[in-house]
Amino acid sequence: MNLASKRLGKVCQRVVQRAFASTAATENAGYVERMYQAWKQDPRSVHISWNEYFKGAVAGTGATAMPASAKDIADHVKVMQMINAYQLKGHEMADLDPLCILPLVTLPP
């Protein structure tokens, strides 16, 4: 094995390790690996955020975050609030008997 392929192997390993650490979810390992392989063939074939991430990982500078605007942050907060509302209150509005098989029971407040 020549020096270039050893270095490339270490770079690949470092990229995948950083991706695991940043996502903190090993079930996404296959996805990250496919994204990295696609990026190696053509950096334009992946989303710009992945392109920046892999460029930083290969250069050894770490992942770089894309700057977020105030609107992006506000939109993200709204989405997270909506998800939280569904998680907390969704069961209260769910139709648990869509075929109307069971009699309707009203509980006191």
Whole-model pTM: value is 0.37
pLDDT of residue 6: 53
Q: Has residue 71 got a pLDDT over 50?
A: yes
pLDDT of residue 24: 46
Separation in Å, CA 50 to CA 26, 47, 97, 109? 17, 5, 44, 50
Structural domain count, the chain: 1
Residue 9: domain span: 3-59
pLDDT tier at 4, thresholds 50, 70, 90 = very low
Could you write out the DSSP letters of every residue in 66-95?
PP--HHHHHHHHHHHHHHHHHHHHHHHH--
Is residue 16 in a domain? yes
Structure tokens at 4: 């270039």
Query: Which candidate, 37, 107, 11, 63, places its Cα nearest to that of 29?
Result: 37
Dihedral (CA of 18, 23, 25, 29) sign: negative
pLDDT tier at 86, thresholds 50, 70, 90 = confident
Q: For the segment 8-57, what is each residue's pLDDT rounded down to a tens digit?
A: 555 555 655 555 555 445 567 788 888 889 998 998 998 888 888 888 77
pLDDT of residue 42: 92
Cβ 62 vs Cβ 56: under 8 Å? yes
Is residue 67 in a domain? no
